[in-house]
């Protein structure tokens, strides 16, 4: 990545509507991310993310997780598709499967995930509902290097939103999603540029070890 002369190839893994995928497609088209999306792979059929990929002339592939009796078999199939495409970077964008350590090892330091909470709080599902139920005043989203833990792995950046007294799950989810669409393309761009690296399971930003995750719009410029 980055040091390479060629353009990075990004594979995006999805399971749903693909609004994050769309934000990445848009940033690639606007040349903010110097990369090519080589494929979009969904573990579910007939999700709108696949349609978004086709509309952007990106190869859209289904590797249906539910037809495999074991995770290892699903991962073998997924790996088979990825090997055809030879991506440099894997981006999980609303991909609702946890990948094994063996799988992650194939792409160590090259797999990102986004999650709609201020990690390490609220891993898993229904994050907005749970943040509201817990009476949180701040909520948000996080980008991290993926690990074999559910929504685990070294954190890169978080974006916060204030929780309003008038918020319900939908209004809060919408504001968090808007932040996701800002920070995920940015972190992907930085990974492509080599501005972010994973070394010994620690995140380096501009060659400095991150002592805590970056905060959206408060990041230090390292040029």
CB of 50 to ligand GAR, least distance (A): 11
Q: Pick from 87, 94, 109, 213: which binds ligand GAR (CB under 6 A)?
A: 94
Kindly state the number of chain residues that form the binding site for ligand GAR, as judged by CB under 6 A.
Answer: 14
Name which position in 19, 59, 129, 178 contacts ligand GAR (CB under 6 A).
19
Per CB under 6 A, does 206 bind ligand GAR?
no
Tell me how far the alpha carbon of residue 131 is from its chain's centroid. Answer: 21
The only residue of 177, 178, 204, 210 in contact with ligand GAR, by rule CB under 6 A: 177
Q: Which of 115, 128, 144, 181 is catalytic?
A: 115
Regarding 18 and contact with ligand GAR (CB under 6 A), the answer is: yes
Is residue 115 annotated as part of the catalytic site, yes or no? yes
In this complex, which beta carbon is closest to ligand GAR, that of residue 93 or of residue 196? 93
DSSP per residue, the chain: --SSSSPEEEEEEESS--HHHHHHHHHHHTTSS-EEEEEEEESSTT-HHHHHHHHTT--EEE--GGG-SSHHHHHHHHHHHHHHH--SEEEESS---PPPHHHHHHTTT-EEEEESSSTTSS-SS-HHHHHHHTT-SEEEEEEEE--SSTT-S-EEEEEEEEPPTT--HHHHHHHHHHHHHHHHHHHHHHHHHTSEEEETTEEEETTEE-SS-EETT-PPP--
Smallest distance, ligand GAR to C-beta of residue 126, A: 9
Q: Does 152 bind ligand GAR (CB under 6 A)?
A: no
**Among 17-25, 66-74, 162-170, 204-212, which window interacts with ligand GAR (CB under 6 A)?**
17-25
Does 180 participate in binding ligand GAR (rule CB under 6 A)?
Answer: yes
List of residues contacting ligand GAR (CB under 6 A): 16-20, 49, 93-94, 114-116, 151, 177, 180
Residues annotated as catalytic are: 115
């Amino acid at each position: 990545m980055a040091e390479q002369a060629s353009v990075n190839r990004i594979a995006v893994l999805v399971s749903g509507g693909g609004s994050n995928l769309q934000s990445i497609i848009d940033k690639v088209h606007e040349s903010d991310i110097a990369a090519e999306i080589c494929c979009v792979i969904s573990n579910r059929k007939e999700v709108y993310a696949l349609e978004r990929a086709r509309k952007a002339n990106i190869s859209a592939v289904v590797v249906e997780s539910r037809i495999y009796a074991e995770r290892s078999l699903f991962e073998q199939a997924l790996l088979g598709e990825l090997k055809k495409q030879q991506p440099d970077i894997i981006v999980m964008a609303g991909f609702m499967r946890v990948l094994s350590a063996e799988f992650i090892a194939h792409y160590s330091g090259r797999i990102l995930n986004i999650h709609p909470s201020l990690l390490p709080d609220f891993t898993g599902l229904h994050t907005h509902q749970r943040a509201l139920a817990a009476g949180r005043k701040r909520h948000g989203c996080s980008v991290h290097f993926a690990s074999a833990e559910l929504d685990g792995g070294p954190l890169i950046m978080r974006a916060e939103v204030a929780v309003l007294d008038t918020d319900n799950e939908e209004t809060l989810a919408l504001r968090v999603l808007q932040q996701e669409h800002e920070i995920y393309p940015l972190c992907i761009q930085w990974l492509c540029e080599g501005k972010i690296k994973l070394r010994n399971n620690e995140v380096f930003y501009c060659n400095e070890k991150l002592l805590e995750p970056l905060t959206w719009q408060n990041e230090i410029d390292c040029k």
